[in-house]
Amino acid sequence: MKPLAEMSEREYFACVGQRPGMFVGKSSFHMLAAFLTGYDQNAIRHGGHGLAGWREWLVARRSRDCNHAWPGQVLHIALPGGWDTYWDLPPEDEEHAIKSSRG
């Protein structure tokens, strides 16, 4: 595996998506969303683009918009029948949401 510092953004996010537990401790959609939000804010703070355009890409992929931020858009794609709580998804929904966030 290439060192993380030498990866392109696309390679880095592919690595995070393949092994989210390595980056956030527990492989959960909530923890992954928190990690990516922190990544986004740090990148913007230091002059980078962060996740700019990702929410729009998710809206286009879903072919529908709503008032949710990007985590809600991912959950709409992963769980079109809805979900009870973002904080406590059943394990199979967690796995599907994490996979759906990869694109």
In terms of Cα–Cα distance, which of 68, 41, 49 is closest to 10? 49
**pTM attached to this predicted model:** 0.84
CA distances, 91 to each of 30, 61, 81, 97 (Å): 12, 24, 16, 10
Per-residue model confidence as pLDDT tens digits over 54-102: 899 999 999 999 999 999 999 999 999 998 888 889 999 999 998 888 7
DSSP string, 36-67: HHHHHHHHHHTT--TTTTHHHHHHHHHT---S
